[in-house]
């Protein structure tokens, strides 16, 4: 593994050693169930959960009671969307979301359509941004929820959440956001932005896998959700199940570290991203950056190499550099990115799209080696490509 370079931080992040250290005592020395109220082991576990919940709330400017623990962002998305649909049906059955959302949102709304929901899917422009005016025009008297991803997992494009929140607040419609890629990477405050429900996950911010959270506004407005997992009534009755104490401790520690370090880290990672982009665009012909360059996360770059197959390119360096050709959660489908398709990319650009995502343990040498490998691979593939030859001769 020492010879490998990891540039797939949007898929998942390594767990920070400081997070692991905080978690370890809760696997053995402090093994209590946080719901056990009759002995010190349970009390210690409960206190640890309370601390983790507060640390996470502090990161996003929320109250501790507004944090509901889940198994991850996918479950949080499901709880939010299904929970609103079931509980607010008296008002209506109309939901608005965006074509470029994560599959955890799109598959959930597709399921709800089968049982009576009406869903409007907003388009995006070539930069991957929605038009707030289009959103406002789509809101109907029976609209109960708007769901907009804060920052896209494939392109890093950040949506204008404050403008979206203002519209939803004025129209009296609940606003939900999958903020999995944004939390811990940039300042995110749902209350300031007018977001009422927000999903995110620990493993995208150097915490453990298998633990996520849903922010649910407790005041102005107080949001209620229909329970999706029934049982002991944990998490304010919204999500039953024994709490994963070690993971919650790790989530809390990861949140605290992010709050302290992400500002400086964003500057460093943007420099690595820019180094990669500048050198690749200087050294290689027919390269494009996908998505807004002004409104995006600092550590993500989605690049298309024209008339090159991304999978073939990755194979040229024996997959020793970890990059992605789409979302990790839908990579098994081997279908072109629905995000890039929604942004209007044609096949000659679409097939050669690769996502590079840097992180806390990335070094400048990682970017340099990646540029060298990509450049060498592109040169080799295009040298043998009749399509590239036709392009160069102006035939296509």
Token output for 28: 């053995």
Q: Give the strand order in the sheet containing 143-147.
A: 67-70, 212-216, 197-201, 174-178, 143-147, 94-98, 118-122
- Report yes or no: 159 and 133 within 8 Å, Cβ to Cβ: no
> Which DSSP letter does residue 7 get?
-
Q: Active-site positions?
A: 329
Q: What are phi and psi of 215, to 5 degrees?
A: -80, 125
269-302 burial, b if ≥16 CB within 10 A, otherwise e?
Answer: bbebbebbbebbeeebebbeebbbeeebbbbbbb
Q: What is the spatial distance between Cα 64 and Cα 327, in angstroms, rounded to a whole number?
A: 31
Phi-psi region of 28 (alpha: psi -120 to 50; beta: other; left: phi over 0): alpha
Q: What is the spatial distance between Cα 179 and Cα 328, in angstroms, rounded to a whole number?
A: 16
Residue 103 CB neighbour total at 10 angstroms: 16
């Amino acid at each position: 593994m020492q010879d490998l370079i990891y540039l797939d931080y949007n898929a998942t992040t390594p767990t920070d050693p400081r997070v692991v250290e905080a978690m370890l005592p809760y696997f053995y020395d402090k093994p209590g169930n946080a719901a056990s109220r009759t002995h010190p082991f349970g009390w210690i576990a409960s206190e640890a959960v309370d601390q983790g919940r507060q640390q996470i709330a502090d990161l996003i400017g929320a109250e501790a009671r507004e944090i509901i623990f889940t198994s991850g962002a996918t479950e949080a998305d499901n709880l939010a969307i299904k929970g609103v649909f079931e509980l607010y049906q008296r008002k209506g059955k109309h939901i608005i979301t965006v074509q470029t959302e994560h599959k955890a949102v799109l598959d959930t709304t597709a399921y709800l359509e089968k049982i009576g929901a009406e869903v409007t899917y907003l388009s995006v422009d070539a930069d991957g941004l929605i038009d707030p005016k289009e959103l406002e025009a789509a809101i109907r008297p029976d609209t109960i929820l708007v769901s907009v991803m804060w920052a896209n997992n494939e392109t890093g494009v950040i949506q204008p959440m404050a403008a979206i929140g203002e519209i939803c607040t004025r129209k009296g419609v609940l606003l939900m956001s999958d903020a999995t890629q944004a939390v811990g990477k940039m300042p995110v405050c749902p209350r300031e932005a007018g977001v009422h429900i927000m999903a995110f996950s620990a493993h995208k911010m150097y915490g453990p896998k298998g633990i996520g959270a849903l922010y649910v506004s407790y005041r102005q407005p107080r949001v209620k959700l229909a329970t999706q997992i029934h049982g002991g009534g944990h998490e304010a009755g919204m999500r039953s199940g024994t709490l994963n104490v070690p993971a919650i401790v790790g989530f809390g520690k990861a949140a605290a570290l992010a709050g302290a370090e992400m500002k400086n880290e964003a500057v460093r990672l943007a420099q690595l991203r820019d180094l990669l982009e500048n050198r690749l665009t200087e050294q290689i012909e027919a390269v494009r950056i996908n998505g807004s360059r002004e409104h995006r996360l600092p550590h993500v770059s989605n690049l298309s190499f024209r008339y090159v197959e991304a999978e073939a390119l990755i194979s040229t360096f024996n997959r020793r550099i970890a990059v992605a050709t789409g979302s990790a959660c839908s990579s098994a489908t081997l279908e072109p990115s629905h995000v890039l398709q929604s942004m209007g990319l044609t096949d000659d650009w679409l097939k050669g799209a690769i996502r590079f995502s840097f992180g806390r343990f990335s070094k400048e040498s990682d970017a340099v080696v990646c540029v060298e490998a990509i450049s060498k691979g592109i040169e080799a593939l295009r040298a043998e490509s009749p399509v590239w030859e036709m392009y160069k001769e102006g035939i296509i």
